[in-house]
Amino acid sequence: MLAIIGAMDEEIELLLADLQGREDLGFPGVTLHRGVLDGVDVLLTRGGIGKVNAAMTTTQLLNAGATQVIFTGVAGGVHPELRVGDIVVSTDCVQHDVDVTALGYAVGTVPGEAPAWAADPELRAVALASAQVIPNVRVVEGRVASGDQFIASPEGAARLLGTFGAACAEMEGAAVAQVCAKAGVPFVVIRSVSDTADGGAQVDYREFMPRVARHAKTVVRGMLARLSTAP
Q: Of 23-31, 72-80, 82-90, 123-131, which segment contacts ligand ADE by CB under 6 A?
A: 72-80
Q: Is 11 a catalytic residue?
A: yes
Q: Which of 86, 172, 195, 204 is catalytic?
A: 195
Q: Of 69-77, 88-96, 114-122, 130-138, which segment contacts ligand ADE by CB under 6 A?
A: 69-77
**37/151 with CB nearer ligand ADE:** 151
d(CA 31, CA 16): 12
Q: How far is CA 25 from CA 19, 61, 64, in A?
A: 14, 10, 9
Q: How do strand 30-37 and strand 2-6 relate by DSSP bridges?
A: unpaired
> Burial of 145 by CB count in 10 Å (0-12 exposed, 13-18 middle, 19+ buried)?
buried
- Neighbouring C-beta atoms of residue 85, cutoff 10 Å: 18
Report the nearest approach of ligand ADE to the CB of residue 99 (Å): 17
Task: Kindly state whether residue 190 participates in binding ligand ADE, applying the rule CB under 6 A.
Answer: no
Task: Kindly state whether residue 71 participates in binding ligand ADE, applying the rule CB under 6 A.
Answer: no
| Interface residue with ligand ADE, options 6, 47, 76, 108 (CB under 6 A) | 76
Q: Is 195 a catalytic residue?
A: yes
d(CA 72, CA 218): 10
Task: Kindly state whether residue 208 participates in binding ligand ADE, applying the rule CB under 6 A.
Answer: no
**3/171 with CB nearer ligand ADE:** 171
Q: How far is CA 63 from CA 31, 50, 57, 77, 129, in A?
A: 13, 20, 10, 32, 30
**Among candidate residues 8, 27, 22, the one with its CA nearest the CA of residue 71:** 8
| Interface residue with ligand ADE, options 12, 137, 201, 213 (CB under 6 A) | 201
Task: Kindly state whether residue 170 participates in binding ligand ADE, applying the rule CB under 6 A.
Answer: yes
Task: Kindly state whether residue 197 participates in binding ligand ADE, applying the rule CB under 6 A.
Answer: yes
**72/194 with CB nearer ligand ADE:** 194
Who's near 108: CB < 8 A, 6+ residues apart?
94, 95, 96, 98, 99, 115, 116, 163, 164
Q: Which of 11, 86, 172, 198 is catalytic?
A: 11
**Among candidate residues 7, 162, 14, 168, the one with its CA nearest the CA of residue 86:** 168
Active site residues: 11, 195
Residues forming the site for ligand ADE (CB under 6 A) = 74-76, 150-152, 169-171, 194-195, 197, 201, 205
